[in-house]
């Protein structure tokens, strides 16, 4: 018998880790003959309060179709947390089993759950058959809130199609022959992503080295501020949002990836940069704390420490052999462990366990 599954996601045409994840997974799940996948897209309404009401109405209409499982994908932040908790309540009321995958995780909102919302968490998400997280720290916190079900520390993934035309041999030639070392920052342009520390570190390095370029790719609430900040710096390029072939080209031509975030789940952009053979400079936060191997995959730096960021970038800039060695290790690691073909099979089996009552 074909099992019906409802996947609740943000709008898949928008840029973000959750959208990227499901754009990679869903086409593969649609090829299974024993499951039928429906997808409802929610969120993206800005400050329009009617949008939140519309989401609940859309979900209520969908859930009447007798699903065997609902898969919720919130982030631990105010809007998504409450919205998907109300979806969970609808599942509970209709006796529909559901699982939850927490992707992004705000440490500030975590404190609010500690102080105010732990009971609300248990009355909603606490009924999930399984909860997926991207960090052991997140798992410990959910256990502290009293959840007694199955918590699985998962990874995010990247789409194999992204690497269709990529060759590590070509990348190595790029490392050895390019006169310019290109440092890439590819993320939402928010202060919390460490973009201002990245700019400060880069500009200090540019005073010592004349062969550096910083590419800032992405969009976000701080886009205009950042653009104005670097407008007179000829060594810094702000591209805005990139996707498709433009994104592939950018990842293929860059040499070092930098993302000194204040908090994270497990950012897909880091995995993508690794897959394209780049060493990474990032922070020991969220899922990166357990996943990332300091000195093997690149370097950890302290949060908000522009000076340390500068020092670690300089280590790589001065040692192309190390850049190639780390980049090759990263590309092989992603290929063997974190392509979507591996992750989607694990999640598929977890879903079947829930549907079969295991």
Tokens of 252: 């293929």
Per-residue CA distances from 327 to 51, 195, 269, 284, 296 (Å): 43, 22, 15, 19, 9
Domain containing 321 — which CATH number? 3.40.50.2000
Residue 358 CA to residue 353 CA, distance in Å, equals 5
Question: Does the pLDDT of residue 265 top 90, yes or no?
Answer: no
State whether 326 and 205 are in the same domain: yes
State whether 219 and 314 are in the same domain: yes
State whether 318 and 176 are in the same domain: yes
Tell me the per-residue pLDDT of 14-53, one tens digit each, with 9 for 90 and over: 777 788 889 889 998 988 999 999 999 998 777 777 888 9
State whether 222 and 126 are in the same domain: no
CA angle 314, 266, 82 (to 5 degrees): 135
State whether 188 and 40 are in the same domain: no
Mean pLDDT over the full length of the chain: 92
Name the pLDDT band for 278 (thresholds 50, 70, 90): very high
Tell me if the pTM is above 0.85. Answer: no
State whether 205 and 243 are in the same domain: yes
Tell me the per-residue pLDDT of 227-236, one tens digit each, with 9 for 90 and over: 999 999 999 9
State whether 208 and 321 are in the same domain: yes
Number of domains in the chain: 2
State whether 153 and 164 are in the same domain: no
State whether 40 and 114 are in the same domain: yes
Question: Does the pLDDT of residue 165 top 90, yes or no?
Answer: no
DSSP, res 162: G
Tell me the per-residue pLDDT of 170-220, one tens digit each, with 9 for 90 and over: 999 988 899 999 999 999 999 999 999 999 999 999 999 999 999 999 999
State whether 14 and 97 are in the same domain: yes
Q: Which domain holds residue 66?
A: 3-157+339-355
């Amino acid at each position: 018998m074909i099992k019906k599954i409802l996947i609740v996601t943000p709008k898949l045409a928008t840029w973000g880790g959750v959208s990227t994840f499901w754009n990679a997974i869903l086409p593969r799940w649609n090829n299974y003959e024993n499951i039928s996948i429906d997808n409802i897209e929610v969120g993206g309404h800005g400050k329009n309060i009617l949008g939140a009401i519309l989401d609940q109405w859309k979900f209520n209409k969908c859930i009447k179709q007798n699903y065997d499982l609902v898969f919720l994908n919130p982030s631990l932040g105010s809007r998504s947390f409450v919205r998907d908790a109300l979806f969970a309540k609808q599942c509970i009321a209709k006796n529909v089993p559901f699982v939850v995958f927490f992707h992004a995780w705000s440490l500030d909102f975590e404190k609010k759950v500690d102080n105010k919302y732990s009971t609300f968490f248990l009355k909603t998400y606490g009924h999930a058959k399984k909860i997926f997280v991207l960090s052991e720290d997140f798992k410990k916190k959910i256990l502290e809130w009293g959840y007694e079900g199955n918590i699985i520390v998962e990874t995010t993934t990247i789409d194999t199609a992204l690497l269709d035309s990529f060759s590590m041999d070509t990348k190595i030639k790029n490392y050895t022959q390019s006169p310019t070392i290109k440092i890439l920052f590819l993320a939402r342009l928010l202060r919390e992503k460490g973009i201002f520390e990245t700019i400060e570190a880069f500009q200090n390095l540019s005073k010592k080295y004349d062969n550096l370029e910083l590419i800032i790719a992405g969009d976000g609430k701080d886009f205009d501020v950042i653009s104005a900040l670097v407008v007179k710096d000829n060594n810094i390029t702000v591209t805005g949002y990139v996707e498709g072939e433009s994104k592939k080209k950018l990842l293929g031509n860059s040499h070092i990836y930098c993302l000194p975030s204040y908090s994270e789940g497990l950012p897909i952009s880091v995995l993508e940069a690794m897959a394209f053979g780049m060493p990474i400079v990032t922070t020991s936060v969220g899922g990166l704390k357990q996943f990332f191997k300091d000195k093997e995959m690149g370097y950890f730096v302290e949060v908000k420490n522009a000076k340390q960021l500068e020092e670690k970038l300089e280590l790589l800039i001065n040692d192309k052999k190390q850049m190639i060695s780390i980049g090759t290790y990263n590309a092989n690691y992603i290929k063997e462990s974190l392509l979507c073909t591996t992750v989607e099979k694990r999640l598929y089996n977890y879903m079947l366990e829930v549907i079969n009552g295991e």
